[in-house]
Structure 1
Amino acid sequence: MDVLGKTYLTKQASLLLEFARTTSDSDLSAKLISKAADLKSQADPLPDKDQGPKAPDVAMDDGPDRPSGS
């Protein structure tokens, strides 16, 4: 069984909430909000696998091996 990613589940929940806000059918809106909550609860315990390593800072402190920025 494949596990869906956190980003995917969060995006789907956001879309359901957006649809819930735009519909005039209160029953449909309630069902969409409930489904969005289910997706969010599935996404919460998942690790943020889609976040790669952090990029190094562009502006680094001048150290002994780096020339001064002046």
Structure 2
Amino acid sequence: MLGKTYLTRQASLLVKFAKTTSDSELSAKLMSKAADLKSQADPMPDRDQGPRAPDVAEDGAPKSGNPITPS
């Protein structure tokens, strides 16, 4: 599942591209897709809830030690 941050960023880029094109049909399609992505992102929580990287402790702080060789 895609996160809110990703969807919002993609929608923002589509709006930016829509504003730069002189093709009104393309601009309308880009704006429509941006609105779709925004509507998908709106009900999601503000913070993405993806899986944590293996080098992150339960409290969110990075684990100490060398990430390449176990200590």
TM-score above 0.5: yes
What residue in structure 1 maps to residue 44 of structure 2? Answer: 46
The CA RMSD over aligned residues, in Å, is 1.4
TM-superposed CA distance for 1:48, in Å, is 1.5
Higher-Rg member (1/2): 1
Runs of 4+ in 1 over 2 A off after TM superposition: none
Q: 1:28-64 deviations in whole A, cap 9, x for unaligned?
A: 000000000000000000011249xxxxxxxxxxxxx
Secondary structure, aligned partner of 1:4: coil
Number of aligned residues = 49
Determine helix, strand or coil for the equivalent of 1:11. Answer: helix
Give the C-alpha shift of residue 13 in structure 1.
Answer: 0.1
Q: Which residue of 2 aligns with 1:24?
A: 22
- For 1:32, the aligned partner's letter is L
Percent identity over paired residues: 82
- Give, in whole Å, the separation in 1 of the partners of 2:2 and 2:39: 13
Among 13, 21, 27, the alignment partner of 1:15 is 13
For normalisation by structure 1, the TM-score amounts to 0.67
Gaps of 5+ in 2: 50-71
